[in-house]
Amino acid sequence: MPFSAVAPLLWAAIGTLARAAVIRLSRVFRGKFLTGLKRLHRRKKLCCTGPAAALADPQQFAKLIRRLHRHDWVVYAKPAFGGPLSVLRYLGRYTHRVAISNHRLLAFEQERVTFRWKDYAHGGKQGTMTLVATEFLRRFFLHVLPRGFVRIRHFGFLANRLRASRLALSRQRLSSSSPTLAEAGTCTIPSQASSLWHCPRCGAAMVVVQRFTTAELSQWTYFDSS
């Protein structure tokens, strides 16, 4: 059977799976949101004034929650333009990063912070910016995870409790027996024959010549990890 005849069926199956995932995500989001709403109301932290004043009554609030549970919630989701691989590459760049690294901090004078930043809208040109300390902290804490959220490098198949078994299962599913970069606990240098890193231009295996610690990197005047 030619691929042209199978392709429509394949894409239809993928679309069905995607729709099913969106439906499940919608239900999970609805449950999480309404649980948080009930918690705030129970702790008297939900401001019920004006048209919502009646919701201060627990019975009226319970009726609202029941109505919200009966409705289907909509979670907006669509395929990435570059496909799944582009999403993985994007997320992979941020798994071990902080909001701003030390080398980008240039000065702190008179309660003002000066730091280096990169303008991606204009070809990645670098510039400096000075902010009042309070505004700098406000922007920095936007990158701090709220309570209940987990860093991506400690989530899913990389979670410490199940990492060994799930990595083995992932290798089995991918029919690959080579080690992965997720095993950050080992510091062995891979051989040239089984290198995990390849040159983006020629595709040849890259060899680790030297490793630097965080203390050694901090001594450099400039080291851009962004």
Give the model confidence (pLDDT) of 169-209 as tens digits.
877 777 654 444 444 444 444 443 444 567 777 877 777 77
pTM of the predicted protein model: 0.41
Query: pLDDT digit string (tens) for 68-79?
Result: 999 888 877 777
- Cα 2 to its chain centre, rounded Å, is 39
Asked if 225 and 101 touch (Cβ cutoff 8 Å), the reply is: yes
First CA to last CA distance, the chain: 48
3-state secondary structure of 131: strand
Token output for 71: 């409705």
